[in-house]
């Protein structure tokens, strides 16, 4: 599969690069960003942290605002950040910021007109890692993380595919999308009105019935404007109490939903993943 280099910038001895490629899962040209730490220049196969961003974001938000490159360079971790949805003139869209382009929700749509292109679950779980592992000096050690809609994506994907990842983390995740306005709007459009089809993409539902445990960390700001209506971290706590799943929830007074919050704790999250990415390496 051919890649088109869009940009490259040196950072902390490594390189931040953006690429375009034709996605077979989505049927459109997709862009992703990759940070290759200095250790990659020796050809050493490095572990990868996949980052999933939130509503309205692209591959650029995390790479430009989170300040993750310094820690990734120190620890020898590659970071890959895909876009949040398929895009283009022929891709279905909506006037709202919380549906359509920029709001893929990391699921496979089954309803028209979305099902033609909106298969972000397949893209993130299968296609993108296969491309990264065939092209760059990386190992098959993978971790996954994300923010808000991307936090939902990271947690949900890890619960459905525990053998693919060493660990998972999230900032301010949409914890129970079947019960919040963002999730209900997106799932109704993408998956149809039958709510039984939504359960497979809901972190809280999956946590209650998951026998395989993966190291999991969630950071939540307690001054987040979306805390009560959209994020509902109490649903995570209830599911963990019911199932005994080893989820570490860190709650932070005064922090909101922004990248100021992410930048404040991204080092702790990357070091959390590093412990498991290098185990038995």
Give catalytic residue positions.
Answer: 148, 224, 257
Query: Which segments of the chain does DSSP mark as H helices, in order?
Result: 60-65, 69-75, 120-122, 128-135, 149-160, 181-191, 203-208, 233-243, 259-277
What gap in Å lies between CA 72 and CA 62, rounded to an integer?
13
Strand partners, 249: 218
- What is the 3 state secondary structure string of 60-127? HHHHHHCCCHHHHHHHCCEEEEECCCCCCCCCCCCCCCCCECCECCCCECCCCCHHHCCEHHHHHHHH
In contact, 153 and 105? CB cutoff 8 Å = yes
Question: What percent of the residues of the chain are helix, what percent strand, and what percent coil, each to the nearest 5?
Answer: 40, 25, 35
Closest to 147 measured CA to CA, from 157, 155, 139, 138: 155
Residues 6+ apart with CB under 8 A from 194: none
């Amino acid at each position: 599969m051919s890649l088109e280099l869009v940009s490259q910038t040196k950072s902390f001895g490594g390189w931040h690069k953006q690429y375009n490629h034709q996605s077979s899962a989505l049927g459109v040209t997709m862009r992703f960003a990759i940070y290759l730490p200095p250790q990659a220049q020796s050809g050493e196969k490095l572990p990868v942290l996949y980052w999933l961003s939130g509503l309205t974001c692209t591959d650029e938000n995390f790479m430009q605002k989170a300040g993750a490159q310094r820690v990734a360079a120190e620890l020898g971790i590659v970071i890959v950040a895909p876009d949040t949805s398929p895009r283009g003139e022929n891709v279905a869209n909506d006037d709202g910021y919380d549906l359509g382009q920029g709001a893929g929700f990391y699921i496979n749509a089954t309803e028209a007109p979305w099902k033609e292109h909106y298969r972000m679950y397949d893209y993130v779980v299968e296609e993108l890692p296969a491309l990264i592992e065939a092209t760059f000096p990386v190992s098959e050690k993978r971790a996954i993380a994300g923010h808000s809609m991307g936090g939902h994506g990271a947690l949900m994907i890890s619960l459905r595919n525990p053998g693919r990842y060493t660990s998972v983390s999230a900032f301010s995740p949409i914890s129970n999308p079947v019960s919040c306005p963002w999730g209900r709007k997106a799932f109704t459009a993408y998956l149809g009105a039958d709510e039984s089809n939504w359960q497979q993409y809901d972190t809280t539902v999956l946590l209650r019935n998951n026998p395989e445990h993966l190291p999991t960390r969630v950071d939540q700001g307690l001054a987040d404007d979306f805390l009560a209506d959209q994020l509902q971290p109490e649903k995570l706590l209830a599911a963990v109490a019911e199932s005994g799943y080893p989820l570490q929830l860190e709650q932070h007074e005064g922090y909101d939903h922004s990248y100021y919050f992410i930048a404040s704790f991204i080092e702790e999250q990357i070091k959390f993943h590093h412990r498991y990415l290098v185990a038995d390496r």
